[in-house]
Amino acid sequence: MPKRQKELDQALESMHFGFRAMIYQPDQRLAKLGLARIHHRLLYFIGRNPDCSINELLQIMRITKQYLHKPLKQLLDLGYVKQKTDAADRRIRRLRLSAKGSKLEFELSEVQRRRFAHIFKQTGPAAERHWRQVMALLSEEIEF
């Protein structure tokens, strides 16, 4: 196996194990509630974009309406998310977290924030900047 392929495989493994470590505790908490990772992501992005429309949420998260429908309905039914009709356009539904949803989102995300804070403190500002740069580039929609 060529050296570069081995290095890239190590990067893939690091991504896999790092992601698994970041989501482990939130996923355990979600499972106890009968929820999944998508529910956390929805809570997170609705919490950061209060009163966003469903279409705006789809664009922010880069997911399909079909993928969003069931978990969003569950969050609405369980009282974690509230929706209201847009004042200017009655066809648009605006989403925001309820107090219960805000509390759960904070609990789930705070574990991850603390982990990042600890890691960034250990590695320093330059490493954090480089990590952010890599993540930004990974987030771009590029086909190879």
Q: What is the pTM of this model?
A: 0.92
**Domains assigned to the chain:** 20-139 (1.10.10.10)
| Tally of CB atoms within 10 A around 68 | 16
Local mean pLDDT, 10-residue blocks, the chain (144 residues): 95 96 98 98 98 97 96 98 94 97 98 98 98 94 64
> What would the two tokens of residue 92 be?
């648009």
pLDDT at residue 1, rounded to an integer: 86
pLDDT at residue 143, rounded to an integer: 62
User: CA-to-CA distance for 79 and 11, rounded, in angstroms?
Assistant: 40
